[in-house]
Amino acid sequence: MSRSITPESKLVGPIDVDVATQKGAAAIATGETGGEELHNAYLVELGQRVRQMRAMRGMSRKVLSQVSSISERYIAQLESGLGNVSVILLRRVAAAIGVPIEDLVAEQPLPKDWAAIRSLLRGAGQDQIDQVKAMFTGEAADRRPCGGATVDRIALIGLRGAGKSTLGRMASEALNWPFIELNRAIEEEHGLAINEILSLYGHEGYHRLEFATLRKVVARPGPMILATGGGIVSEAMNFELLLSSFFAIWLKASPAEHMSRVRNQGDFRPMANDDAAMAELVAILTSREPAYARARLTIDTSGVTPETSLRQLLLGLQSFCISGCFWQTRAAIGDKISAPRRAAATDCGQVAARPITSSQNS
């Protein structure tokens, strides 16, 4: 469960992965009446998936066009549901064979037991899925009974411009905990700047290096505050490792504030010279919100000073530390806060904290 310092905005749910029912798939395979409507629905769904995946990776259509060597016009057609008819033909083949289309287009050979594993996962409960994820990320499934890391290992997540680096450094100084920027750690580990890594290896290569570096950071003992790249949520294994190893805090801001802060930093990636920059930014935020919302704590940094955000962070940590935290952590956080606690904790601290008012900040 997640706690928010401010009321949560409405989140956009995940896109339905399968538009056609079993009956619809059979109609596609045999060419029965109604197949054309199903074709169109599938193309619309395909376009939505492409648009969502592109936004998750923070790529504009122009960037995707350049990287893929596919015209921007065709990408726009694909995202609007006007994809090439060959996709439909491929789907007919998959339906006729009786396999999901992803099995035909997979980049790597599938394990021989993949079909059985997939069926088991589809029928598994959340506890079983959590155990499988813990096994693959190297974490003991019962290591953290409250469903997350202790609060003295913090990961700040959110889009560029949310204040992760600024707030991370301030919290590090206040609590005397080490502060690590994951992207800087990647650069130091591999001797290349992030833009050089992306240029040489692409986003896939970058996320491989991100995962390798994150595992080394996770292995470091003791308290720490980690600021992550905004796109870590777009790579499932990386994000799962982060959530299982750190107390995640989502720093969110309005699109206008994100844009202003990023430009003030002189960083225009991936929106340089793009007249649709704000629309792209909103699309990125919308696509990533459900993932960011998995954090244990949410702090809205819009329209407030860094000092206010720091106080919100410390108060939020304090409410989680009422039970089940190391005494050193409770003492360190308590020393920095004189105000009374504003939330009553359950065994796992899953309660809602009230926003800090201007009078409480004085």
DSSP for 148-177, please give it. S--TTEEEEE-STTSSHHHHHHHHHHHHT-
Question: Exposed e or buried b for every residue in 178-213, given b needs 16+ CB within 10 A?
Answer: ebbbbbebbbeeeebebeebeeeeebeebbbbbbeb
Confidence tier at 353 by pLDDT (50, 70, 90): very low
Enumerate the H helices of the chain as residue ranges: 22-30, 35-56, 61-68, 72-79, 85-97, 101-105, 114-122, 126-136, 164-175, 182-190, 194-219, 236-245, 255-264, 277-292, 306-320, 327-336, 358-361
Q: Which residue has the higher pLDDT, 210 or 150?
A: 210
Confidence tier at 332 by pLDDT (50, 70, 90): low
Percent of the chain residues past pLDDT 90, beyond the cut? 26
Q: Are 224 and 172 in contact (CB under 8 A)?
A: no
How many angstroms separate the CA atoms of 349 and 327, rounded?
Answer: 16
Q: Which of 45-49, 129-133, 330-334 has the lowest mean pLDDT?
A: 330-334
The whole-number pLDDT of residue 124 equals 85
Mean residue pLDDT of the chain comes to 74
The whole-number pLDDT of residue 149 equals 53
Confidence tier at 262 by pLDDT (50, 70, 90): confident
Percent of the chain residues past pLDDT 70, beyond the cut? 68
Q: Which residue has the higher pLDDT, 343 or 172?
A: 172
Q: Between the ranges 195-204, 261-270, 331-340, where is the mean pLDDT highest?
A: 195-204
The whole-number pLDDT of residue 167 equals 95
Q: Which residue has the higher pLDDT, 47 or 242?
A: 242
Encode pLDDT of 273-316 as tens digits: 555 778 888 888 888 999 999 999 999 998 889 999 999 999 88
How many angstroms separate the CA atoms of 244 and 62, rounded?
Answer: 35
The whole-number pLDDT of residue 11 equals 30
Encode pLDDT of 117-170 as tens digits: 887 888 888 888 878 877 877 665 444 434 445 788 999 999 888 889 999 999
Domains of the chain: 22-107 (1.10.260.40), 153-361 (3.40.50.300)
Encode pLDDT of 234-253 as tens digits: 888 899 899 989 999 999 98
How many angstroms separate the CA atoms of 170 and 172, rounded?
Answer: 5
Please check the confidence at residue 56 and state whether its pLDDT lies above 70: yes
